[in-house]
């Protein structure tokens, strides 16, 4: 009897452990290993107890020897040098055609490099973005695999069986593209998650400080919003957070220090958008908002020195709440449109054949940004795979047309009340800049030509003809 395992997993932190249990639930036999070897035995005695098809190993050699060929070795270790070290240590025990999968939160350029490096050694590489946190890993994450295309037929069955499924049963896991495409799409997912979270936080701030809602009313409002186009995991948990009481009966959220942490994927998205020249303003504002939140003491000092307007609460509470909902929805559309603009540019830059409708489907369930809204994005790209921008789709342009008056009222309220809403305002500025055929950049070109003879094109001459003027002549 061949008692070798279907896959090997290295890394027994919570994501690794949960993914192993999930794979095992789906009938896959899994050999497991961890750098701190005692954790292998702890796992076998703990969560994996009684599961004969989870096989503990105490060295990489033993792990590789326990695998069916072609071997599939999955790394669930800390992103960075740990991945490279494990690859080096595993290589002597692998043969041509075997594959290494990196399921960690790796930087996509590392996955491009690793695909190239391993391909030269005859080993297939898969960089798989995995989203959904611990719960997702255990019961069905969104999985975004990329790498050497020959790896996909070997992994498809295992990955699609463990991934989340949409209501119609489609797996939230499909091949994304070559080399770093999977980790890239995961990075964009995380960036969009930053944007969504920031927009929701701004809506909370406006509900609290412009309308004067208490925490129960805010919870009710988010609960209601979750029955609208905003229906999503993040809105759902936001309502639950506002309902949640501390031991003394006070809302717990009120007592949480307002200093946001970050692990860096939002920064990666913003830096990449700057590198590729794509205006991903909303995610970038979200990253900056976290950075500003971290300057707690400085903000406390500034609050004593810098004057703002007197806040007078709005009179029409429910009209304002609906305006905020519409402002949030419109801004969210802009954020996703920007995220997809960036992916479109990245597809050109890194030679990936990305299917944007498919990417929206991967995020439909299992991950943090899961929402009903993603169905509409999927439909938009399925209807027209050459869609230049999400905002050109009738469904989204229609919502923006419907929301814009409310959106503008909310932005005005934020500004006149002195309540920072950087993501909402950046989204509106982008919308107004994007829909403007004639921008003020003619002046920028004139200034550049004035001080640096950078030349300019003219609206009354063919494009590509450049002019230089002696601006001091009159």
Interface with ligand 2AM includes 34 (CB under 6 A)? yes
Interface with ligand 2AM includes 114 (CB under 6 A)? no
Interface with ligand 2AM includes 448 (CB under 6 A)? no
- ∠ CA 94-96-97, rounded to 5°: 100
* φ and ψ of 240, to 5 deg: -65, -40
Interface with ligand 2AM includes 82 (CB under 6 A)? yes
Burial of 135 (0-12, 13-18, 19+ CB in 10 A): exposed
Residue labelled with tokens 């030509």: 449
The catalytically annotated residue of 170, 193, 202, 229 is: 193
Segment interacting with ligand 2AM (CB under 6 A) among 29-37, 107-115, 177-185, 380-388? 29-37
List helix spans (H) across 125-214.
133-139, 152-162, 181-206
**232: three-class secondary structure by DSSP:** strand
Interface with ligand 2AM includes 85 (CB under 6 A)? yes
The question of whether 193 is a catalytic residue gets the answer yes
Q: Hey, what are 445's tokens?
A: 């070109």
Interface with ligand 2AM includes 79 (CB under 6 A)? no
Give the whole-angstrom CA distance, residue 357 versus residue 387: 10
Q: How many residues bind ligand 2AM (CB under 6 A)?
A: 11
Interface with ligand 2AM includes 20 (CB under 6 A)? no
Interface with ligand 2AM includes 235 (CB under 6 A)? no
User: Is the alpha carbon torsion for 459, 465, 470, 474 positive or negative?
Assistant: negative
CB of 120 to ligand 2AM, least distance (A): 23
The catalytically annotated residue of 39, 186, 326, 344 is: 186
Q: What is the gyration radius of the CA atoms in the chain, in angstroms?
A: 25
Considering only 5, 7, 11, 266, the residue that binds ligand 2AM (CB under 6 A) is 11
Considering only 78, 113, 139, 409, the residue that binds ligand 2AM (CB under 6 A) is 78
Which residue from 220, 236, 226, 210 is spatially nearest to 323, judged by alpha carbons?
210
Q: Hey, what are 248's tokens?
A: 């003394």
CB of 7 to ligand 2AM, least distance (A): 16
Segment interacting with ligand 2AM (CB under 6 A) among 31-39, 167-175, 182-190, 237-245? 31-39
Cβ atoms < 10 Å from Cβ of 46: 10
Give the whole-angstrom CA distance, residue 219 versus residue 224: 9
Q: Interface mask (CB under 6 A) for ligand 2AM, residues 36-65, using x and -?
A: x--x--------------------------
Interface with ligand 2AM includes 13 (CB under 6 A)? yes
CB of 14 to ligand 2AM, least distance (A): 9
Give the whole-angstrom CA distance, residue 23 versus residue 161: 8
Segment interacting with ligand 2AM (CB under 6 A) among 5-13, 231-239, 251-259, 408-416? 5-13
Contact positions vs ligand 2AM (CB under 6 A):
11-13, 34-36, 39, 77-78, 82, 85
Catalytic positions, written as ranges: 186, 193
């Amino acid at each position: 009897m061949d008692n070798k395992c279907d896959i090997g997993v290295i890394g027994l932190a919570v994501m690794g452990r949960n993914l192993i249990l999930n794979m095992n639930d789906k009938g896959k036999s899994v050999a497991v290993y961890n750098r701190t070897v005692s954790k292998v035995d702890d796992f076998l005695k703990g969560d994996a107890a009684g599961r004969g098809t989870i096989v503990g190993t105490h060295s990489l050699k033993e792990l590789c020897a326990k695998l069916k060929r072609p071997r599939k070795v999955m790394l669930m270790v800390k992103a960075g040098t740990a991945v490279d070290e494990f690859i080096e240590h595993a290589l002597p025990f692998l043969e041509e055609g075997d594959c290494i999968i990196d399921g960690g939160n790796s930087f996509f350029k590392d996955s491009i490099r690793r695909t190239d490096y391993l391909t030269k050694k005859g080993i297939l590489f898969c960089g798989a973005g995995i989203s959904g946190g611990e719960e997702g890993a255990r019961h069905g994450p969104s999985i975004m695999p990329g790498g050497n295309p020959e790896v996909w037929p070997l992994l498809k069955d295992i990955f699609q069986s463990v991934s989340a499924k949409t209501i119609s049963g489609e797996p939230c896991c499909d091949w994304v593209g070559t080399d770093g495409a999977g980790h890239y799409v995961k990075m964009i997912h995380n960036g969009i998650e930053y944007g969504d979270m920031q927009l929701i936080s701004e809506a909370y701030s406006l509900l609290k400080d412009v309308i004067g809602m208490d925490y129960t009313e805010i919870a009710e409002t988010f609960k209601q919003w979750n029955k609208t186009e905003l229906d999503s995991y993040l809105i759902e948990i936001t309502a639950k957070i506002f309902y949640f009481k501390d031991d003394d009966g006070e809302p717990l959220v009120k007592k949480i220090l307002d200093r946001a942490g970050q692990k860096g994927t939002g920064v990666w998205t913003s830096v990449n958008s700057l590198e590729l020249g794509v205006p991903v303003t909303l995610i970038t504002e979200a990253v900056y908002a976290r950075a500003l939140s971290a300057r707690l003491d400085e903000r406390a000092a500034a609050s004593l020195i810098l004057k703002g307007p007197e806040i007078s609460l709005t009179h029409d509470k429910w009209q304002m709440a609906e305006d905020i909902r519409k402002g949030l929805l419109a801004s969210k559309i802009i954020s996703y449109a920007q995220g997809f603009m960036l992916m479109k540019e990245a597809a050109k830059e890194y030679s990936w054949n990305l299917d944007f409708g498919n990417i929206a489907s991967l995020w439909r369930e299992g991950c943090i940004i899961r929402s009903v809204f993603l169905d509409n994005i999927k439909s938009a790209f399925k209807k027209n795979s050459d869609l230049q921008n999400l905002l050109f789709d009738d469904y989204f342009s229609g919502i923006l047309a419907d929301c814009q008056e409310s959106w503008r009222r909310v932005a005005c309220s934020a500004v006149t009340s002195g309540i920072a809403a950087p993501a909402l305002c950046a989204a509106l500025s982008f919308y107004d800049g994007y829909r403007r055929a004639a921008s003020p950049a003619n002046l920028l070109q004139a200034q550049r030509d004035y001080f640096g003879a950078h030349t300019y094109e003219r609206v009354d001459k063919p494009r590509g003809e450049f002019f230089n003027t002696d601006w001091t002549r009159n």
